[in-house]
Chain A
Amino acid sequence: MAKEQLAYDEFMKGLWRENPVFVQVLGLCPLLAVTNSAINGLAMGLASFFVLLGSSILVSLFKSYIPKQVRISCFIIIIATFVTVVDYTLAAALPVIHKELGAFIPLIVANCLILGRMEAFASRNTLRMSVADAFGMGAGFLFALVSLGAVREILGVGEIFGFALFGANFEPWVIMILPPGGFITLGVMLLYFNWLEEKKNKIDKQLATEDGVN
């Protein structure tokens, strides 16, 4: 029971409380580069999710056999292997999406988020916890990618996952699918998260002082 609870905690941490993008601000390059539509965000998110999960499992399984001195190299080899797997699988199964994401799939290797989780979590925790963590972080990253992609797609083309939302007369906000739109949208979303956090902290403080009084 306790273990279930802990694993669930790890999962929620990654998805929301310590969201890799909105809270830790990691993995920005792949995030911004491919999120000009929700579907691209989803594909990239799933690809990263798969790499993260696979690498976490391997690293966590073999952690005691990997000497400290070469661990980073081993992690990279493991990650690169999974990325290559994803790359080829996508190219075979979904060539259209593979073309869209183009060169950014291989760049998952350089995503600090994944290497960071190997180093900070998978190499120090049990398989079970590592899987929970990978699920959480992967889902958190996926969530960020999809929401950013959705915002940019809704405003940028007036569609979501390809379904038109506003009718034929919609005036698309082209900037949203262009690079500046990526920067600005993410900036505004981060601001929003900061603001939420601040509000929460305020309420927490208030509750704490009220408790103190009682």
Chain B
Amino acid sequence: MGDLGWIFISTLLINNFVLAYFLGLCPFLGVSNKLEVSFRLGLATIFVMVVTALCAWFLNTYVLIHAPYLRLISFIVVIASVVQLIEMAIKKTSPTLFRALGIFLPLITTNCAILGLAIFATNKGYGLWEGLVYALGAGMGFTLAIVLMAGMRQEVEKVNAMPKLIRGFAFNLIISGILSMAFMGFAGLFSSS
């Protein structure tokens, strides 16, 4: 496993942003009731994460070495503005793409998984390529988790034997817990061989 490969597998499966780091729980718990929507949200997240990785790399390389204290504020402001610009561009150039992904973009921008990605990538000292692979792994890991979750929730919705008391957030957290437990199976992947 090359370094890039391991970064990818590790963020996709072992250190899944949602299931191991608790990042992006809002969309994960809030938007995972419909499979179709979840999948598109996942795609939009991958996209924003890649953009974020680019921004973070740019800021780290050219701005923050001079003014480290601006890290947090500049991440937020730059990521939000770039996503906004892209959103406007998509709206103009491809209305279909906008309908598919665009509506999610503002929703994602204020989310901790995005900011977390930028901060973690910085803390780990990732360069451009590593950062991009990291973003891809994190985004796809998020998509995987939310799509599995949505599939299960759609199924569970149809069970009318389920006590009313249990439905809702509490139950979704417990499903997430079991899913997170299942993902523990990936721990140590490619580290010992």
- Interface members, chain A 16-68 (any B CB < 8 Å): 25, 28-30, 32-33
Q: Is the CB of B22 within 8 A of A110?
A: no
Supposing A28-B26, A29-B24, A80-B72 touch, asked if A180 and B178 sit within 8 A by C-beta, the answer is yes
Establish whether residues B72 and A84, one from each chain, have CB atoms under 8 Å apart when the complex forms.
yes
Bound CA–CA A77/B6 (angstroms): 36
Pair B115/A32 contact, Cβ less than 8 Å: no
**Total contacts A-B at CB 8 Å:** 106
| Contact of A115 with B174 in the complex, beta carbons under 8 Å | no
Listed stretches A139-147, A157-165, A184-192, A205-213; interface member? A184-192
Query: With a CB–CB cut-off of 8 A, which chain A residues contact B9?
Result: none
Chain A residues with Cβ below 8 Å from B110 are 110, 112, 115
**Is there contact, CB below 8 Å, between B22 and A184?**
no
Determine the interface band of chain B, counting residues with CB < 8 A from chain A.
Answer: 35 or more
A107 contacts across to B, CB distance below 8 A: 23, 112, 115-116, 119
A81 within 8 A of B: yes
Of chain A, the residue at the smallest CB distance from B168 is A194
Q: Does B120 contact A (CB under 8 A)?
A: yes
Q: Which residues of B contact A110 (CB under 8 A)?
A: 110-112, 114-116
Give CA–CA (A175, B120) in the complex, Å: 24
Is the C-beta of B129 less than 8 angstroms from some C-beta in chain A? Answer: no
Mask: chain B, 79-121; 1 = CB below 8 Å from A; 0 = not: 0100000000000000000000000000000111011100110
Residues of chain A within 8 A (CB-CB) of B23 are 29, 33, 107
| Cross-chain contact B22 with A190 (CB below 8 angstroms) | no
The interface residues of chain A lying within 8 Å CB-to-CB of B170 are 187-188, 190-191, 194
Task: Using A103-B120, A195-B165 as known contacts, say yes or no to A180 and B180 having CB atoms under 8 A apart.
Answer: yes
In contact, B22 and A33 (Cβ under 8 angstroms)? yes
Question: Is B31 engaged at the interface, CB distance under 8 Å to the other chain?
Answer: no
Give min CB distance, B43 to chain A, whole Å: 21
Query: B114: shortest Cβ distance to chain A, in Å?
Result: 8
Given A28-B29, A29-B25, check contact A109 B166 (CB 8 Å). no
Q: Is B49 an interface residue (CB 8 A)?
A: no
9 closest A-B pairs (Cβ-Cβ)? A183-B177, A187-B173, A184-B177, A110-B112, A190-B170, A187-B174, A32-B22, A180-B181, A180-B180
Starting from the known contacts A77-B73, A106-B119, A107-B112, 6 additional A-B residue pairs (CB-CB under 8 Å) come to A28-B22, A76-B77, A103-B123, A110-B112, A179-B180, A188-B174
